[in-house]
C-alpha cells in the first residue's frame, strides 16, 4: 500500500517506519526542511531505541522516503496519515492549527479513493471537522478515519509493532477493513482490532492518557501521605498491586509526570469538559497534584539545607522526562533546576541522552558526560529520571567524591536502609528518610 505520513516527529517517524517495515511504500513528509534533509542523509533527529536501524534498513530497501513536497506524496497515496503536533494552546485546549493547515494543503491532491487518517491526538469532533473541510474543498465526501496512537517514548517501536490493541474510528465499514489489513502484521498474536465511531476513538485516546495520569497523581498523593504517616509507599504499592483489580502498572511514585502528552492531554480533556458545561473536578485535581509534585524534591532540598542555596553545588542525574529518550518536553528535572538556580545553587547535570536538548534551552548548567564526574564535590545529588544506568552506581566512590553524601531520589531507585548503611543521607518519595554518617 502507498502511504503518506504528514508530520515526521516521534509518532510520524515511528508510524511511517513501522508501516514501511511491514512492506508498505511510505513517504514521510514534514515542513521542517532541516529535519527532512537530515533524515535523507540517514541522521535520525530523535533518540528512540531501535529506530535508527529500522529507518536506515527500510530507506535502503527503497520502501521509506522523506520529502517536504506534500503535493507529490499525497497525489499517489492510498492512505494519508496526519501526525502533526497538537500542542496545548493558550486556553489549555489543543492547538489544531497544524492539523487545519495540513487538511487544507492535502485537499487539492487527494485521490478519489484516498483515506485520510488522524494519528495525532485530536479533540472529539476533529475527524468530523476534517471531513467537512475536505468536502468543502474537494466537492466530494472523502474517507476520514481516526486511528489514535498509544505508543510510549523510549519503547515506541515495540509498542507500535506489538500493540495491546488497535483502535480505529470510521463511518464506513470498508475503511475499517482497509485499516484492519494494514494492521494485520502487527496483530498476529490475536490482540484486538477495535472498530468504533471517530468520536469514540478520539475520546478513547484522551481517556486512556487521563486515566494513566490519574494513577500517577493518585500514587504521588499517597506517597506524600506515607511520609507523614511513617508508612513506606513501596510496601503499600506492592500491597495493593497484587490485587488483580488494581495491578502494578503506572503506580510508581516520583517527581510528577512530564512529556509532551499527559500534561497537554489532561488539560485538553479539561477544556473539552468545561466546553460542554461539565465540571472537570478529577482532571483538575490530577493536573494540580502533578504540578505540586514537581516541587517535592526542591522542598526536601530546602528542608535539608535551608532556603538560601548560595554556594551549594547540586548535581542532577536525569534530565529527560523519562528514561530511553532525549525528550525534555515538560520534564520535571527542568522545573527543579530552575527552582534550585533561583535559590542560588550551582547546577551540575548528567543525562545519557538529553544534555544537548537541555543545553539549547537553559543557561548556567555545567554538563558532565559521566555520572561519576558529575557528583565530584557535590553537596547533594538529585535524581529526576529512572535511567537504568543510575540504579547501580559505585556507591563507595560516590561517597568519597561528594562533598556531603546527601541524595534526593525522585524515582525511588535505592533501598533506604542500604543507603544508610553506605553512609548516605537519603531522601526519596514516600519512603522513610535516613541520616548518613557525614551528613
Ligand X SMILES: NC(=O)C1=CN([C@@H]2O[C@H](COP(=O)(O)OP(=O)(O)OC[C@H]3O[C@@H](n4cnc5c(N)ncnc54)[C@H](O)[C@@H]3O)[C@@H](O)[C@H]2O)C=CC1
Pick one of 100, 150, 183, 218: the residue that binds ligand UGA (CB under 6 A).
150
Pick one of 66, 206, 257, 424: the residue that binds ligand UGA (CB under 6 A).
257
The contact pattern for ligand UGA, residues 203-222, with x = CB under 6 A and - = no contact, is ------x--x---x------
Q: Is 98 in the site for ligand X (CB under 6 A)?
A: yes
Q: Is 152 annotated as a binding residue?
A: yes
R_g (Cα) of the chain, nearest Å: 24
Q: Name the grid cell of 70.
A: 506534500
Select 261 or 348, whichever has its Cβ closest to ligand UGA: 261
Binding partner at 251 among ligand UGA, ligand X, none, C-beta below 5 to 8 Å by kind? ligand UGA
Q: Is 32 in the site for ligand X (CB under 6 A)?
A: yes
- CB burial of 365-394 (b: ≥16 within 10 Å; e: otherwise) equals bebbeebeebbbebbbbbbbbbbeebeebe
How many Cα atoms occupy the beta-carbon half-sphere of 378 within 13 Å? 29
| DSSP three-state, residue 428 | coil
Binding partner at 390 among ligand X, ligand UGA, none, C-beta below 5 to 8 Å by kind? none
Q: What is the rounded distance in angstroms from the CA atom of residue 102 to the CA atom of residue 123? A: 16
Select 210 or 375, whichever has its Cβ closest to ligand X: 210
Select 267 or 427, whichever has its Cβ closest to ligand X: 267
Active-site residue list? 261
Pick one of 153, 221, 287, 351: the residue that binds ligand UGA (CB under 6 A).
153
| Residue pair 296/430 in contact by the 8 Å Cβ criterion | no
Q: Is 8 annotated as a binding residue?
A: no
The distance of closest approach from Cβ of residue 362 to ligand X in the complex, given in angstroms and rounded to an integer, is 20
Q: Is 289 in the site for ligand UGA (CB under 6 A)?
A: no
| DSSP three-state, residue 383 | strand
The contact pattern for ligand X, residues 72-91, with x = CB under 6 A and - = no contact, is -----------xxxx-----
Q: What is the rounded distance in angstroms from the CA atom of residue 269 to the CA atom of residue 398? A: 44
Q: Is 283 annotated as a binding residue?
A: no
Region binding ligand UGA by CB under 6 A among candidate stretches 79-87, 185-193, 245-253, 279-287: 245-253
Q: Is 39 in the site for ligand X (CB under 6 A)?
A: no
Binding partner at 257 among ligand UGA, ligand X, none, C-beta below 5 to 8 Å by kind? ligand UGA
- CB burial of 78-112 (b: ≥16 within 10 Å; e: otherwise) equals bbbbbbbbbebeeebbbebebbeebbeebbebbee
Q: Is 262 in the site for ligand UGA (CB under 6 A)?
A: yes
DSSP string, 288-353: HHHHHHTTHHHHHHHHHH-S--TT-EEEEE--SSSTT----TT-HHHHHHHHHHHTT-EEEEE-TT
φ/ψ region of 277 (left if φ > 0, alpha if ψ in -120 to 50, else beta) reads left
Q: Is 151 annotated as a binding residue?
A: yes
| Angle of CA points 98, 86, 156, to nearest 5° | 120
Q: What is the rounded distance in angstroms from the CA atom of residue 283 to the CA atom of residue 280? A: 5
Q: Is 166 in the site for ligand UGA (CB under 6 A)?
A: no
Pick one of 59, 261, 368, 429: the residue that binds ligand X (CB under 6 A).
261
Q: Is 409 in the site for ligand X (CB under 6 A)?
A: no
The distance of closest approach from Cβ of residue 261 to ligand X in the complex, given in angstroms and rounded to an integer, is 5
Select 5 or 309, whichever has its Cβ closest to ligand UGA: 5
Pick one of 37, 43, 91, 101: the residue that binds ligand X (CB under 6 A).
101
Q: What is the rounded distance in angstroms from the CA atom of residue 99 to the CA atom of residue 80? A: 13
Binding partner at 209 among ligand UGA, ligand X, none, C-beta below 5 to 8 Å by kind? ligand UGA
- CB burial of 314-323 (b: ≥16 within 10 Å; e: otherwise) equals bbbbbbbbbb
Residues near ligand X (CB under 6 A) = 6-12, 29-32, 35, 83-86, 98, 101-102, 120-121, 149, 151, 153, 260-261
Binding residues for NAD(+): 30, 35, 86, 121, 153, 264, 329
Amino acid at each position: 500500500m502507498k502511504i503518506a505520513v504528514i508530520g515526521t516527529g516521534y509518532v510520524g517517524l515511528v508510524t511511517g517506519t513501522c508501516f514501511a517495515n511491514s512492506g508498505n511504500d511510505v513517504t514521510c513528509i514534514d515542513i521542517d526542511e532541516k529535519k527532512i534533509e537530515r533524515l535523507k542523509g540517514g541522521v535520525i533527529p530523535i533518540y528512540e531505541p531501535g529506530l535508527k536501524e529500522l529507518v536506515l534498513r527500510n530507506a535502503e530497501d527503497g520502501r521509506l522516503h522523506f520529502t517536504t513536497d506534500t503535493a507529490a506524496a499525497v497525489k499517489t497515496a492510498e492512505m494519508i496519515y496526519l501526525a502533526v503536533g497538537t500542542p496545548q494552546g493558550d486556553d489549555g485546549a489543543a492547538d489544531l492549527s497544524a492539523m487545519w493547515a495540513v487538511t487544507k494543503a492535502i485537499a487539492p491532491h487527494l485521490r478519489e479513493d484516498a483515506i485520510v487518517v488522524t494519528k495525532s491526538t485530536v479533540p472529539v469532533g476533529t475527524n468530523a471537522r476534517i471531513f467537512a473541510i475536505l468536502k468543502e474543498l474537494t466537492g466530494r465526501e472523502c474517507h476520514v478515519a481516526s486511528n489514535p496512537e498509544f505508543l510510549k517514548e523510549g519503547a515506541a517501536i515495540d509498542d507500535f509493532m506489538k500493540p495491546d490493541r488497535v483502535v480505529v474510528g470510521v463511518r464506513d465499514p470498508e475503511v475499517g477493513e482497509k485499516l484492519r489489513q494494514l494492521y494485520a502484521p502487527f496483530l498476529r498474536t490475536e490482540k484486538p482490532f477495535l472498530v468504533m465511531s471517530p468520536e469514540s476513538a478520539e475520546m478513547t485516546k484522551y481517556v486512556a492518557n487521563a486515566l494513566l495520569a490519574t494513577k500517577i497523581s493518585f500514587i504521588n498523593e499517597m506517597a506524600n501521605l506515607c511520609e507523614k504517616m511513617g508508612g513506606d509507599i513501596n510496601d503499600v504499592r506492592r500491597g495493593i498491586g497484587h490485587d488483580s483489580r488494581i495491578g502494578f502498572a503506572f503506580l510508581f511514585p516520583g517527581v510528577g509526570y512530564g512529556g509532551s502528552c499527559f500534561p497537554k492531554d489532561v488539560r485538553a480533556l479539561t477544556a473539552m469538559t468545561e466546553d460542554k458545561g461539565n465540571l472537570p473536578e478529577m482532571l483538575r485535581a490530577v493536573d494540580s497534584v502533578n504540578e505540586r509534585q514537581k516541587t517535592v524534591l526542591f522542598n526536601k532540598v530546602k528542608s535539608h539545607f535551608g532556603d538560601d542555596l548560595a554556594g551549594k553545588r547540586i548535581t542532577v542525574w536525569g534530565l529527560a522526562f523519562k528514561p530511553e529518550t532525549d525528550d525534555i518536553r515538560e520534564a520535571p528535572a527542568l522545573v527543579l533546576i530552575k527552582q534550585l538556580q533561583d535559590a542560588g545553587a550551582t547546577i551540575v547535570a548528567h543525562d545519557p541522552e538529553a544534555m544537548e536538548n537541555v543545553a539549547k534551552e537553559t543557561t548556567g548548567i555545567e554538563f558532565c558526560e559521566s555520572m561519576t564526574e558529575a557528583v565530584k564535590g557535590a553537596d547533594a545529588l538529585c535524581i529526576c529520571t529512572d535511567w537504568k544506568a543510575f540504579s547501580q552506581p559505585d556507591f563507595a566512590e560516590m561517597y568519597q567524591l561528594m562533598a556531603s553524601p546527601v541524595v534526593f531520589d525522585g524515582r525511588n531507585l535505592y533501598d533506604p536502609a542500604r543507603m544508610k548503611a553506605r553512609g548516605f543521607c537519603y531522601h526519596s518519595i514516600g519512603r522513610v528518610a535516613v541520616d548518613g554518617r557525614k551528613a
